[in-house]
């Protein structure tokens, strides 16, 4: 016992927190103890306006009764069912309901437990698909600089955020990266899609020429890059990627872990931008963030390629103990009901113009060097303090929290992605608080 920490319930040392400045946090913890609709309750009793939908996931707002009831009901009825060689009705019902809201042609769904697992799953489907089609030389995976595709080895290999990669060795081999599309000199303070940079997609042609198309399995991109600081696709960019992939027989994967489930004003970004990928990865908003669950959508063409050989044989050697878990499935079904009843998968389209107007009104605040937006997403980029990158935005985060507002920061960029139920008054309140923070010298 002697080498154990003295862990009383409120001892913070044992939990090594994810993506957190652990020592800073534990000196001055920010504890959330309750939540409802647009607000968290902090341990000191304060109401905190949720400007980030948790971590881009609580799209319908917090503690929605239909979802909490569905979870309780399911936990008492069928808590778990084996996921391999066995089924339960709700996972099938959920897959059908998801296919209904997905872009046309996305007819099949594989379940996972997170965005990271969705990415790994999609990359593995891509490799195995080409092999089943007799194209086993197609093994290369192409990502993009500044891309975020979760934290597992496939995801960090195709991802392009240096701090998420550099500590972890050589990663997957046979990966290449397209350039990112961030052109602040030309596009700063653009509302919606930037004018400049669509032609950056043709860099993919260069990569294809370098490696030869016959070696490339898939290209994966976030339609809107989120974690890297909100990069909106320049006009024409995604369509051009689609054209190049189609021309060369390369699968195009949209990582919609943050854009899925209404963030841009359509169920998926693929519909919003009218560009059809071959696979879509999702998680987060699938269950309103309440229970871990992800889903990968694939076309019939991909699915059907696996459905061959003896019928007693497993067609795809991949899956998780919790794939399509009954409680997660019940939570997701209730989430889809809530989205439908309240029109949340398209509400962002209605409120986006007001959001955009209020967001861009912060242009004159000190140290603001760019503002970007699409749907119910906003980013405010701050001029870094010389020699102390990330500090300006992090202190804005701390001040905002003290002022009753939750924001996210990455580098010196503030990212906003509130629940899709946010009212105009709450948008006003959010930006008033943020103005105070920025004018207070963050």
Cβ at position 258, least distance to ligand PXG in Å:
4
Least gap, CB of 413 to ligand PXG (angstroms): 10
- What are the Cα distances from residue 365, in Å, to 113, 412, 434, 441? 40, 15, 10, 9
Taking the least distance from each CB to ligand PXG, the nearer of 90 and 408 is 408
Q: Give least dist CB 117 to ligand PXG, A.
A: 7
Closer residue to ligand PXG (CB): 60 or 221: 221
> CA 216, CA 176: separation in Å to the nearest integer?
10
Compute the residue count for the chain. 442
Containing 298, the helix (H) or strand (E) segment is strand 294-299
Which H or E element spans position 312? none
> Hey, how many other C-beta atoms are within 10 angstroms of the C-beta on 65?
9
Q: How far is the CB of 119 from ligand PXG (least distance, A)?
A: 5
To ligand PXG, the closest distance from the beta carbon of 170 in angstroms equals 21
CB nearer ligand PXG, residue 200 or residue 414: 414
In angstroms, what is the minimal distance from the CB of 7 to ligand PXG? 27
Contact 227, 410 (CB under 8 A): yes
Alpha helices in 212-253 (DSSP H): 237-248
Q: How many CB atoms lie within 10 A of CB 146?
A: 20
Closer residue to ligand PXG (CB): 296 or 438: 296
Residue nearest to ligand PXG (CB): 115
| HSE value, Cβ hemisphere, 13 Å, CA-based, for 372 | 27
Strands (E), 37-117: 39-42, 47-50, 106-112
Cβ proximity to ligand PXG, 305 vs 380, nearer residue: 380
- Least distance (Å) between residue 437 CB and ligand PXG: 18
Structural element, H or E, at residue 252: strand 251-255
Measured from the CB atom, the residue of 102 and 208 that comes closer to ligand PXG is 102
Cβ proximity to ligand PXG, 51 vs 88, nearer residue: 51
Q: Which residues contact 388 (CB under 8 A, 6 or more apart)?
A: none
At its nearest, how many Å lie between ligand PXG and the CB of residue 264? 13
Q: Which residues, at least 6 apart from 375, have a Cβ–Cβ distance to it below 8 Å?
A: 259, 263, 264, 265, 272, 348, 349, 352
From edge to edge, which strands make up the β-sheet containing 405-406? 32-36, 39-42, 47-50, 405-406
For residues 283 and 405, which CB has a smaller minimum distance to ligand PXG in the complex? 283
> Residue 51, class by beta-carbon neighbours within 10 Å (0-12 exposed, 13-18 middle, 19+ buried)?
buried
- Contacting positions for ligand PXG (CB under 6 A): 55-56, 114-116, 119, 148-150, 222, 226-227, 255, 257-258, 283, 408, 410, 415
Please state whether 379 falls in left (phi above 0), alpha (psi between -120 and 50) or beta: beta
Q: Which stretches of 313-423 are DSSP H helices?
A: 326-341, 344-360, 391-402
Whole-number Å distance between alpha carbons of 89 and 98: 14
Q: How far is CA 114 from the centre of its chain?
A: 10
Which secondary structure element, helix H or strand E, spans residue 69, and what is its range? Answer: helix 65-77
Minimum CB distance to ligand PXG smaller for 227 or for 374: 227
Minimum distance between the CB of residue 280 and ligand PXG, rounded to whole angstroms? 11
| 116 versus 157: smaller Cβ distance to ligand PXG | 116
Smaller CB separation from ligand PXG, 102 or 305: 102
- What is the C-alpha separation between 301 and 362, in angstroms, rounded? 47
User: Taking the complex as a whole, how short is the minimal distance between the CB of residue 284 and ligand PXG, in angstroms?
Assistant: 6
Q: How far is the CB of 210 from ligand PXG (least distance, A)?
A: 26
Report, in Å, the least distance between residue 345 CB and ligand PXG.
Answer: 18
Q: Which is nearer to ligand PXG, 150 or 194 (CB)?
A: 150
């Amino acid at each position: 016992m002697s080498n154990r920490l003295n862990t009383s319930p409120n001892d913070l040392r044992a939990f090594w927190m994810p993506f957190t400045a652990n020592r800073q946090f534990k000196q001055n913890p920010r504890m959330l103890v309750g939540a409802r609709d647009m607000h968290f309750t902090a341990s000191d009793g304060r109401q905190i306006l949720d400007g980030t939908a948790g971590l881009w996931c609580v799209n319908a707002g917090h503690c929605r009764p239909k979802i909490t009831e569905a979870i309780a009901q399911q936990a008492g009825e069928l808590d778990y069912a084996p996921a391999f060689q066995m089924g339960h009705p709700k996972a099938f019902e959920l897959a059908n309901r998801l296919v209904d809201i997905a872009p046309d042609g996305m007819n099949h769904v594989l379940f996972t437990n997170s965005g990271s697992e969705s990415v790994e799953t999609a990359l593995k489907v891509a490799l195995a698909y080409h092999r089943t089609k007799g194209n086993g030389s197609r093994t290369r995976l192409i990502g993009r600089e500044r891309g975020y595709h979760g934290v597992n080895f496939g995801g960090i290999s195709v991802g392009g955020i240096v701090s998420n990669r550099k500590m972890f060795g050589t990663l997957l081999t046979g990966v290449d990266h397209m350039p990112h599309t961030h052109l602040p000199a030309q596009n700063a303070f653009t509302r919606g899609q930037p004018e400049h940079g669509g032609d950056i997609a043709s860099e993919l042609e260069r990569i294809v020429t370098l490696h030869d198309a016959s070696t490339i399995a898939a290209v994966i991109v976030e339609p809107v890059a989120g974690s890297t600081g909100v990069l909106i696709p320049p006009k024409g960019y995604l369509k051009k990627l689609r054209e190049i992939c189609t021309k060369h027989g390369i699968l195009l994967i949209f990582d919609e872990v943050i854009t899925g489930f209404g963030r841009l004003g359509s169920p998926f970004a693929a519909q919003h931008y009218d560009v059809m990928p071959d696979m879509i990865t999702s998680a987060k908003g699938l269950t309103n963030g309440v229970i871990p669950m992800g889903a990968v959508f694939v076309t019939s063409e991909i699915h059907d390629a696996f459905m061959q050989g003896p019928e007693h044989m497993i067609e795809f050697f991949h899956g998780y103990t919790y794939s399509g878990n009954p409680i997660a499935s019940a939570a997701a079904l209730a989430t889809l009901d809530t989205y439908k009843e309240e029109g949340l998968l398209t509400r962002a389209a209605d409120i986006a113009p007001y959001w955009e107007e209020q967001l861009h009104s912060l242009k004159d605040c000190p140290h603001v060097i760019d503002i970007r937006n699409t749907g119910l997403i906003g980013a405010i980029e701050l001029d870094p303090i010389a020699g102390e990158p990330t500090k300006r935005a992090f202190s804005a985060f701390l001040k905002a929290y003290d002022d009753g507002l939750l924001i996210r920061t990455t580098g010196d960029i503030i990212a906003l992605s509130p629940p899709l139920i946010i009212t105009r008054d709450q948008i006003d309140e959010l930006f008033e608080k943020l103005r105070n923070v920025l004018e207070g010298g963050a």
